[in-house]
Amino acid sequence: MKNLFLRAVLCSAALLGLTSAGLVHAQLRVEISGVGAFQIPIAIAAFADESIAPQQVSAIIKADLDRSGYFKIIDTGTAMSETTRVNYGDWKTRGADALVVGSVQHLADGRFDVRYKLLDTVKSTELSALAMTAQPDRIRLTAHQIADDIYEKLIGVRGVFATRIAYVTKSGREYRLEVADADGEGVQVALRSNEPIISPSWSPDGTKVAYVSFEQRKPVVYVQDLVTRKRTVVANYKGSNSAPAWSPDGSRLAVALSRDGLTQIYSVSANGGNLKRLTNTSGIDTEPRFSPDGQSIYFTSDRSGGPQIYRMSANGGGAQRITFSGDYNISPRVSPDGKTLAYISRRGGQFQLFVLDLSNAQEQRLSDTVKDESPSFSANGKYIMYATEAGRRGTLAVVSVDGRVKQRLTTQAGNIREPTWGPFMK
């Protein structure tokens, strides 16, 4: 049992999920199903002169808000700048509670000046206005930032359209760690290897990714700077080195090592020093995750006979069992507010995404797929991304924490696995 459990949590995605047909390097395609409990009707006008920019700002904003599941997009049929005089009554008649207008100008230095306003048509007031300059290759990011502002002003929660995701793909014999915008656009390859790559994990500031690579014919934990591409070996001890997870301050990582026998939880500095053992049991302890306040670590252990999720102090010591429903619960992930635990549970032979309210122990199944892996919360805690399977191919899926909004991210061919959703960017 213990050997099977260790193989499952360490190698399932890399050695099983990614071994089928290779994929063509391509942007991710987003498919949306389901909507929020309520939708805000919002009209988004084409931005004045936006055709001069490399990408259409208003179209990116529309796609972001539509994907969120919380907005009903109303077509304006015309371009409107932030200086256009608005007849609020007319927009109310057309069913819009909010209106987005804006413009794009090409500056002499090659940058673009992007301006926008968000108007409340019910109260006939201006809710927000932004003016930003962007290099041509940053137009998408600027549009995402505007969508984030709209989301926050109307929903009351910070948007995550300007965040990034990382995941693993395989093409032929080549594994790739890829980074993309939250909508699947702007794919960049962070690492290529002929050996498996698993367990990517974003640093809290979004500049680095920790991961496990098998390029030395064994699992080794690395930290890679996404800007300089410099790599640091964080854990390369005897046996297995796996499951890196960052502390909230970015100074250290929790890892799972088998250097002293059975796999146990350790902490290590982000530069690879100051190794400290945190668990010392006769079972397998793995998949550590820090709580948002850095005071606790959630992890998976089979100490009770089958894999369940436990919580202990970040300094180690005694652990409290957290999951009790079902005989197989793995891959703990804690929401940014520390109130919800996401995990994968096997029920009736199906592996599905569940969430647990840590205040009252109420659980909810969020997915309707049956081969789920690797959950990851969005930075605002409103969504969870996870890997699953559709048509015998690995895909990424996104579900809102209430289960109502669902998305699927696919490529035209092949498998995607091991998603991790990045933090808010400074």
* Residue 74 · residue 42 · CB < 8 Å: yes
- Residue 344 and residue 308: Cα distance in Å, rounded? 10
Segment (H or E) for 98: strand 98-106
Q: Which of 126, 111, 116, 98 is nearest to 48 (CA)?
A: 116
Q: Check whether 2 has a pLDDT greater than 90.
A: no
Q: In the chain, pLDDT over 90 holds for what percent of residues?
A: 82
Segment (H or E) for 142: helix 139-155
Q: How many CB atoms lie within 10 A of CB 280?
A: 12
Low-confidence winner among 230-239, 279-288, 383-392 (lowest mean pLDDT): 383-392
- Report how far apart, in Å, the C-alpha atoms of 253 and of each of 104, 263, 373 are: 43, 16, 21
What pLDDT band is residue 28 in, cutting at 50, 70 and 90? low
**Residue 246 Cα to chain centre, angstroms:** 15
* Residue 209 · residue 63 · CB < 8 Å: no
Q: Across all residues in the chain, what is the average pLDDT?
A: 90
Give me the mean pLDDT over the 142-154 stretch: 98
In tens, the pLDDT along 243-257 reads 999 999 999 999 999
Q: Check whether 81 has a pLDDT greater than 80.
A: yes
What pLDDT band is residue 410 in, cutting at 50, 70 and 90? confident
In tens, the pLDDT along 14-26 reads 333 333 333 334 5
Which pair of tokens denotes residue 212? Answer: 């496990």
Q: Check whether 195 has a pLDDT greater than 50.
A: yes
In tens, the pLDDT along 378-406 reads 999 999 999 998 777 888 999 999 999 99
Which pair of tokens denotes residue 214? Answer: 């098998």
- Residue 116 and residue 136: Cα distance in Å, rounded? 18
pLDDT of residue 34: 66
* Residue 420 · residue 226 · CB < 8 Å: no
Q: Beta partners for 185?
A: none
pLDDT of residue 77: 85
Q: Check whether 197 has a pLDDT greater than 80.
A: yes
Strands (E), 63-97: 71-79
pLDDT of residue 393: 80
In tens, the pLDDT along 345-372 reads 999 999 999 999 999 999 999 999 999 9
Domains annotated for the chain, with CATH where assigned, are 2-26+163-421 (2.120.10.30), 39-155 (3.40.50.10070)
pLDDT of residue 243: 98
Strands across the sheet containing 164-171: 188-193, 174-181, 164-171, 416-421
* Residue 251 · residue 260 · CB < 8 Å: no
